[in-house]
Amino acid sequence: MQKSTITDRDIQKALVNKEFLLYYQPLYELKDCRIIGVEALLRWRHPVAGMISPGSFMPVAEEGKQIYELDKAVFREALRQVRKWREEKLQLELSVNLSAKTLTSSKHFEEIEGILVFSGEDTRMLTIEITETALLADMELAADRIKGLRNSGIKVALDDFGTGYSSILHLKKMEVDIIKIDRSFVEALPQSGKDGKIIKNMVAMAHNLEYRVIAEGIETEAQLEFLKGLSCEYGQGYYLCKPVPAEKITSSRNDISFADKQSDELPPKLRNIY
């Protein structure tokens, strides 16, 4: 299914037919490849087209009204899963993506808050990721809502950092906890000297401002080593682990592991943490 052929109506129908599901990608502390949590990532299991990634349908959802329903569905499902993991004695921190549109809609943001309260989960276990490209529209309101979330104990991450029109302005205006460096900066490492310098300075600036830094899209061992060399403390990416269905994340001696290491969802260099 081509991105251009997906309509708002298709997404609405898919929600009714329960075709959306969540995958989870572990986030790692790079120095010892210890899992610190998971990011919930939306997938669309289309009956004909197969698995569709959010890059193909999120822009359509964000143009229309379906984004609100998708965001709410993701929060409900991810919090249900975290509860299940907790009941199985698997204590996991959870990152969930929230669109700037939902963040700045009073009605829908209140509903998200309602979902959080209803879940009864500890807010300190939760990080909300907000993509910086979309933040510009109503920056004051966004900053205010972010402040409210942080006051309730939730951590806030600026996602895809560096790709927005005014990344530095966002840093100035938004009080957040975490910066997630967009994978387009990681992609050309370590070959590109220029990208290396950019990312080195991004990490240094983020640390000076006392943010935690997560590098996205680590696909090779060389990229991992380069980032470790810059004291970038956290990361995620296919080299470490691809997004996997919830059932693949299991507990072992109170550590986090993967049930099925042979799955083709998992990269050959999967690192266990024990």
Strands 178-181 and 212-215: parallel
Distance in angstroms (rounded) separating the CA atoms of residues 156 and 154: 7
Task: Name the token pair of 99.
Answer: 């669109």
Distance in angstroms (rounded) separating the CA atoms of residues 127 and 211: 14
Distance in angstroms (rounded) separating the CA atoms of residues 255 and 134: 36
Q: Nearest approach, Cβ of 34 to Mn ion (angstroms)?
A: 20
235 binds, among ligand G, Mn ion, none (CB under 5 to 8 A by kind): none
The DSSP secondary-structure symbol of 49 reads: T
Q: Nearest approach, Cβ of 80 to Mn ion (angstroms)?
A: 19
Residues in contact with ligand G by the rule CB under 6 A: 25, 41, 53-54, 97, 131, 159-160, 183, 216-219, 236-238, 243
Nearer to ligand G, 40 or 256 (CB): 40
Nearer to Mn ion, 10 or 57 (CB): 57
41 binds, among ligand G, Mn ion, none (CB under 5 to 8 A by kind): ligand G
- The β-bridge partners of 200 are none
243 binds, among Mn ion, ligand G, none (CB under 5 to 8 A by kind): ligand G
In this structure, the number of other CB atoms found within 10 A of the CB of residue 53 comes to 14
99 binds, among Mn ion, ligand G, none (CB under 5 to 8 A by kind): none
71 part of the interface to Mn ion, by CB under 5 A: no
Task: Name the token pair of 159.
Answer: 């996602």
Q: Nearest approach, Cβ of 238 to ligand G (angstroms)?
A: 4
Which residue number is nearest to ligand G in terms of Cβ? 237
Report the Cα 154 to chain-centroid distance in Å.
Answer: 14
Answer for the pair 160, 129: CB distance below 8 angstroms, yes or no. no
159 part of the interface to Mn ion, by CB under 5 A: yes
Find the binder of Mn ion among 69, 71, 129, 132 (CB under 5 A): 129
Distance in angstroms (rounded) separating the CA atoms of residues 227 and 215: 8
Nearer to ligand G, 51 or 117 (CB): 51
132 part of the interface to Mn ion, by CB under 5 A: no
Q: Looking at 93-101, 147-155, 203-211, 253-261, which segment touches Mn ion (CB under 5 A)?
A: 93-101
Three-state secondary-structure class, residue 94: strand
183 binds, among Mn ion, ligand G, none (CB under 5 to 8 A by kind): ligand G
Q: Nearest approach, Cβ of 42 to ligand G (angstroms)?
A: 8
CA distances from 50 to 1, 46, 248 (A): 9, 5, 20
Distance in angstroms (rounded) separating the CA atoms of residues 175 and 123: 17
Q: Nearest approach, Cβ of 39 to ligand G (angstroms)?
A: 7
Question: What residues line the site for Mn ion (CB under 5 A)?
Answer: 97, 129, 159
